[in-house]
Protein backbone atom coordinates (compact mmCIF):
# COMPACT_ATOMS: atom_id res chain seq x y z
CA UNK A 1 0.00 0.00 0.00
CA UNK A 2 1.20 3.54 -0.71
CA UNK A 3 0.19 6.93 0.64
CA UNK A 4 0.37 10.29 -1.11
CA UNK A 5 2.81 12.52 0.79
CA UNK A 6 3.72 16.05 -0.21
CA UNK A 7 6.54 16.71 2.22
CA UNK A 8 8.52 15.26 5.09
CA UNK A 9 10.09 18.02 7.13
CA UNK A 10 12.89 17.22 9.55
CA UNK A 11 13.73 19.11 12.76
CA UNK A 12 10.30 20.68 13.17
CA UNK A 13 9.64 22.26 16.57
CA UNK A 14 6.05 23.53 16.29
CA UNK A 15 4.20 20.27 15.62
CA UNK A 16 4.27 18.76 19.10
CA UNK A 17 6.92 18.46 21.84
CA UNK A 18 10.66 18.31 21.20
CA UNK A 19 12.36 17.90 17.86
CA UNK A 20 10.19 16.05 15.34
CA UNK A 21 9.79 14.92 11.78
CA UNK A 22 6.49 15.98 10.26
CA UNK A 23 4.90 13.90 7.51
CA UNK A 24 2.53 15.93 5.35
CA UNK A 25 -0.28 13.90 3.77
CA UNK A 26 -1.69 15.25 0.53
CA UNK A 27 -5.46 15.62 0.26
CA UNK A 28 -7.88 17.52 2.46
CA UNK A 29 -11.68 17.42 2.65
CA UNK A 30 -11.81 21.14 3.54
CA UNK A 31 -10.78 24.14 1.47
CA UNK A 32 -10.14 26.91 4.01
CA UNK A 33 -9.75 30.29 2.35
CA UNK A 34 -6.61 31.01 4.36
CA UNK A 35 -4.87 27.62 3.84
CA UNK A 36 -1.08 27.95 4.19
CA UNK A 37 -0.52 24.80 2.19
CA UNK A 38 -2.71 25.10 -0.91
CA UNK A 39 -0.70 22.27 -2.45
CA UNK A 40 -2.01 19.99 0.30
CA UNK A 41 -5.65 20.12 -0.72
CA UNK A 42 -5.91 18.03 -3.91
CA UNK A 43 -5.62 14.29 -3.50
CA UNK A 44 -3.52 13.86 -6.64
CA UNK A 45 0.08 14.92 -7.40
CA UNK A 46 0.21 18.49 -8.76
CA UNK A 47 2.75 20.35 -10.83
CA UNK A 48 3.81 23.88 -10.00
CA UNK A 49 6.13 26.25 -11.83
CA UNK A 50 9.00 28.03 -10.07
CA UNK A 51 10.76 30.99 -11.67
CA UNK A 52 14.48 31.17 -10.89
CA UNK A 53 16.84 34.07 -11.70
CA UNK A 54 20.53 33.61 -12.49
CA UNK A 55 22.86 36.28 -13.91
CA UNK A 56 19.87 38.35 -15.07
CA UNK A 57 18.31 35.37 -16.87
CA UNK A 58 15.01 33.84 -15.81
CA UNK A 59 14.39 30.08 -15.79
CA UNK A 60 11.15 28.21 -15.28
CA UNK A 61 11.36 24.97 -13.34
CA UNK A 62 8.51 22.51 -12.90
CA UNK A 63 8.12 20.81 -9.55
CA UNK A 64 5.73 17.95 -8.71
CA UNK A 65 4.08 18.13 -5.32
CA UNK A 66 2.97 14.75 -3.99
CA UNK A 67 4.78 11.44 -4.07
CA UNK A 68 3.34 7.96 -3.52
CA UNK A 69 5.38 6.43 -0.67
CA UNK A 70 5.37 3.11 1.16
CA UNK A 71 5.40 2.80 4.93
CA UNK A 72 8.97 1.46 4.76
CA UNK A 73 10.14 4.50 2.78
CA UNK A 74 8.67 6.84 5.39
CA UNK A 75 10.13 4.82 8.25
CA UNK A 76 13.57 5.06 6.64
CA UNK A 77 13.24 8.86 6.55
CA UNK A 78 12.09 9.32 10.13
CA UNK A 79 14.62 6.83 11.53
CA UNK A 80 17.43 9.19 10.45
CA UNK A 81 16.69 11.56 13.34
CA UNK A 82 15.73 9.15 16.10
CA UNK A 83 18.61 10.33 18.28
CA UNK A 84 17.24 13.89 18.21
CA UNK A 85 13.74 12.74 19.13
CA UNK A 86 15.10 10.71 22.02
CA UNK A 87 17.22 13.53 23.39
CA UNK A 88 14.56 16.23 23.05
CA UNK A 89 11.40 14.30 23.96
CA UNK A 90 10.23 14.60 20.36
CA UNK A 91 8.97 12.16 17.77
CA UNK A 92 6.93 12.02 14.59
CA UNK A 93 3.89 14.09 13.62
CA UNK A 94 1.42 13.22 10.88
CA UNK A 95 -0.07 16.34 9.32
CA UNK A 96 -1.41 17.55 6.02
CA UNK A 97 -3.72 18.19 4.29
CA UNK A 98 -5.64 15.78 6.45
CA UNK A 99 -3.99 12.49 7.42
CA UNK A 100 -7.36 10.79 8.05
CA UNK A 101 -8.26 11.42 4.39
CA UNK A 102 -6.11 8.34 3.63
CA UNK A 103 -7.40 6.17 6.49
CA UNK A 104 -6.08 2.74 5.47
CA UNK A 105 -2.57 4.00 4.76
CA UNK A 106 -2.57 6.17 7.89
CA UNK A 107 -3.54 3.21 10.02
CA UNK A 108 -0.76 1.06 8.54
CA UNK A 109 1.81 3.82 9.01
CA UNK A 110 0.78 4.55 12.61
CA UNK A 111 0.94 0.87 13.50
CA UNK A 112 4.49 0.67 12.11
CA UNK A 113 5.59 3.88 13.87
CA UNK A 114 4.16 2.65 17.16
CA UNK A 115 5.88 -0.71 16.87
CA UNK A 116 9.18 1.18 16.49
CA UNK A 117 8.51 3.14 19.68
CA UNK A 118 8.09 6.67 18.27
CA UNK A 119 6.05 9.29 20.11
CA UNK A 120 3.32 10.14 17.59
CA UNK A 121 1.30 13.34 17.24
CA UNK A 122 -1.48 13.90 14.73
CA UNK A 123 -2.42 17.31 13.39
CA UNK A 124 -6.03 16.99 12.24
CA UNK A 125 -8.86 19.23 11.07
CA UNK A 126 -11.26 16.64 12.52
CA UNK A 127 -13.45 16.67 9.41
CA UNK A 128 -13.71 12.93 8.96
CA UNK A 129 -15.94 10.09 10.10
CA UNK A 130 -15.57 8.89 13.68
CA UNK A 131 -14.70 5.45 12.25
CA UNK A 132 -11.64 6.92 10.51
CA UNK A 133 -10.52 8.80 13.61
CA UNK A 134 -11.13 5.82 15.87
CA UNK A 135 -8.56 3.88 13.79
CA UNK A 136 -5.88 6.25 15.15
CA UNK A 137 -6.78 6.18 18.84
CA UNK A 138 -4.51 3.32 19.90
CA UNK A 139 -1.49 4.86 18.24
CA UNK A 140 -1.66 8.61 18.81
CA UNK A 141 0.00 10.06 21.89
CA UNK A 142 -1.08 13.64 21.22
CA UNK A 143 -3.71 15.20 18.97
CA UNK A 144 -3.19 18.71 17.60
CA UNK A 145 -6.82 19.46 16.88
CA UNK A 146 -7.76 22.45 14.71
CA UNK A 147 -10.75 24.56 15.69
CA UNK A 148 -11.68 27.36 13.35
CA UNK A 149 -15.21 28.70 13.56
CA UNK A 150 -17.88 27.81 16.08
CA UNK A 151 -20.75 29.17 13.99
CA UNK A 152 -21.64 26.38 11.59
CA UNK A 153 -22.87 28.60 8.74
CA UNK A 154 -19.63 30.58 8.85
CA UNK A 155 -17.63 27.36 9.03
CA UNK A 156 -19.30 26.13 5.85
CA UNK A 157 -18.80 29.51 4.20
CA UNK A 158 -15.08 29.80 4.92
CA UNK A 159 -13.87 26.18 4.97
CA UNK A 160 -16.32 24.39 2.68
CA UNK A 161 -17.56 22.00 5.40
CA UNK A 162 -19.74 21.87 8.52
CA UNK A 163 -18.17 21.91 12.00
CA UNK A 164 -20.70 19.45 13.48
CA UNK A 165 -18.66 16.30 12.87
CA UNK A 166 -15.48 18.13 13.89
CA UNK A 167 -16.89 19.07 17.30
CA UNK A 168 -18.49 15.64 17.82
CA UNK A 169 -15.20 13.91 17.04
CA UNK A 170 -13.32 16.22 19.40
CA UNK A 171 -15.71 15.44 22.26
CA UNK A 172 -15.37 11.70 21.56
CA UNK A 173 -11.56 11.91 21.65
CA UNK A 174 -11.73 13.79 24.95
CA UNK A 175 -14.17 11.20 26.36
CA UNK A 176 -11.73 8.48 25.28
CA UNK A 177 -9.13 10.11 27.55
CA UNK A 178 -6.81 11.28 24.77
CA UNK A 179 -4.42 14.21 25.23
CA UNK A 180 -5.34 17.07 22.91
CA UNK A 181 -3.89 20.50 22.14
CA UNK A 182 -6.52 22.77 20.59
CA UNK A 183 -5.06 24.77 17.70
CA UNK A 184 -6.89 27.89 16.63
CA UNK A 185 -5.69 29.61 13.45
CA UNK A 186 -6.74 33.21 13.98
CA UNK A 187 -7.76 34.84 10.72
CA UNK A 188 -8.44 38.60 10.62
CA UNK A 189 -12.04 39.45 9.80
CA UNK A 190 -13.06 35.77 9.66
CA UNK A 191 -12.80 34.14 13.09
CA UNK A 192 -11.22 36.77 15.38
CA UNK A 193 -14.54 38.05 16.71
CA UNK A 194 -15.55 38.13 20.41
CA UNK A 195 -18.49 35.85 19.55
CA UNK A 196 -16.25 33.16 18.11
CA UNK A 197 -13.81 33.32 21.02
CA UNK A 198 -16.62 33.21 23.61
CA UNK A 199 -18.06 30.08 21.97
CA UNK A 200 -14.58 28.52 21.83
CA UNK A 201 -14.10 29.17 25.55
CA UNK A 202 -17.39 27.43 26.39
CA UNK A 203 -16.45 24.36 24.35
CA UNK A 204 -12.86 24.12 25.60
CA UNK A 205 -13.88 24.52 29.23
CA UNK A 206 -16.03 21.40 28.82
CA UNK A 207 -13.09 19.43 27.42
CA UNK A 208 -10.76 19.71 30.42
CA UNK A 209 -8.68 17.78 31.37
CA UNK A 210 -8.25 16.26 27.87
CA UNK A 211 -7.51 19.77 26.60
CA UNK A 212 -5.22 21.77 28.86
CA UNK A 213 -3.24 23.59 26.17
CA UNK A 214 -4.31 25.95 23.42
CA UNK A 215 -2.17 27.23 20.54
CA UNK A 216 -3.30 30.48 18.95
CA UNK A 217 -1.85 30.66 15.45
CA UNK A 218 -1.76 34.21 14.04
CA UNK A 219 -2.48 34.26 10.31
CA UNK A 220 0.34 35.47 8.11
CA UNK A 221 0.52 36.14 4.40
CA UNK A 222 3.55 33.94 3.70
CA UNK A 223 1.70 31.46 1.47
CA UNK A 224 0.92 34.03 -1.26
CA UNK A 225 3.75 32.84 -3.44
CA UNK A 226 2.55 29.23 -3.30
CA UNK A 227 -0.91 30.25 -4.58
CA UNK A 228 0.80 31.87 -7.54
CA UNK A 229 2.99 28.85 -8.26
CA UNK A 230 0.08 26.42 -8.17
CA UNK A 231 -2.16 28.74 -10.20
CA UNK A 232 -4.75 28.98 -7.41
CA UNK A 233 -6.75 32.05 -6.50
CA UNK A 234 -5.49 33.73 -3.33
CA UNK A 235 -8.54 35.48 -1.90
CA UNK A 236 -6.50 36.60 1.14
CA UNK A 237 -3.94 38.54 -0.88
CA UNK A 238 -4.98 41.95 0.45
CA UNK A 239 -5.30 40.90 4.09
CA UNK A 240 -2.57 42.06 6.49
CA UNK A 241 -0.72 39.49 8.58
CA UNK A 242 -1.47 39.30 12.29
CA UNK A 243 1.22 39.67 14.92
CA UNK A 244 1.75 38.01 18.30
CA UNK A 245 0.73 41.29 19.95
CA UNK A 246 -2.71 41.06 18.32
CA UNK A 247 -3.37 37.90 20.32
CA UNK A 248 -1.99 38.80 23.75
CA UNK A 249 -5.44 39.73 25.14
CA UNK A 250 -7.01 36.51 23.82
CA UNK A 251 -4.16 34.54 25.38
CA UNK A 252 -4.69 36.14 28.76
CA UNK A 253 -8.42 35.26 28.77
CA UNK A 254 -7.66 31.57 28.22
CA UNK A 255 -4.82 31.65 30.76
CA UNK A 256 -7.20 33.09 33.36
CA UNK A 257 -9.38 30.02 32.73
CA UNK A 258 -6.41 27.80 33.63
CA UNK A 259 -5.19 26.82 30.14
CA UNK A 260 -1.58 26.77 29.00
CA UNK A 261 -1.60 29.07 25.99
CA UNK A 262 1.04 29.55 23.32
CA UNK A 263 0.96 32.02 20.49
CA UNK A 264 2.26 30.02 17.57
CA UNK A 265 2.70 26.24 17.77
Residues that bind ligand SF4 (CB under 6 A): 28, 30-32, 35, 37, 40-41, 96-98, 125, 159
Minimum CB–partner distance for residue 58 and ligand SF4 (Å): 30
The β-bridge partners of 8 are 23
Q: Which of 51, 71, 72 is nearest to 62 (CA)?
A: 51
Q: At its nearest, how many Å lie between ligand SF4 and the CB of residue 174?
A: 20
- Would you say how long the chain is, in residues? 265
Compute the least distance from the CB of residue 181 to ligand SF4, in Å: 15
CB nearer to ligand SF4: give 14 or 116.
14
Cβ-based nearer residue to ligand SF4, 92 or 147? 147
How near is the Cβ of 149 to ligand SF4 at its closest, in Å?
A: 11
> Which residue lies nearer to ligand SF4 by CB, 23 or 35?
35
d(CA 17, CA 110): 18
> Cβ 127 to ligand SF4, closest distance in Å?
7
Three-state DSSP state, 259: coil
21 vs 37, beta carbon nearer ligand SF4: 37
d(CA 147, CA 94) in angstroms, rounded, equals: 17
In whole angstroms, how far apart are CA 117 and each of 15, 86, 161, 184? 18, 10, 35, 29
Contact between 207 and 178 (Cβ < 8 Å) = no
Task: Pick the closer one to ligand SF4 by CB: 6 or 254.
Answer: 6
What sections of 183-247 are H helices per DSSP?
Answer: 194-206, 224-229
**Residue 59 CB neighbours (<10 A):** 9
- Closest approach of Cβ 171 to ligand SF4, in Å? 19
Helices of type H across 89-183: 103-115, 130-134, 152-159, 164-175
Of the pair 145, 197, the CB lying nearest ligand SF4 is at: 145
Amino acid sequence: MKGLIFDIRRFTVHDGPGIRSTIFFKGCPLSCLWCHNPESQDSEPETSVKTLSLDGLKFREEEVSGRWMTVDEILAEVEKDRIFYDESGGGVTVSGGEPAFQPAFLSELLSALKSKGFHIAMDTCGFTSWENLALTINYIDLYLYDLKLMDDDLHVKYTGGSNKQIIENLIKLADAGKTIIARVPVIPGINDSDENFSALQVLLEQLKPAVTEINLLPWHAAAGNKYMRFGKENVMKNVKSMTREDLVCRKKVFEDLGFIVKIGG
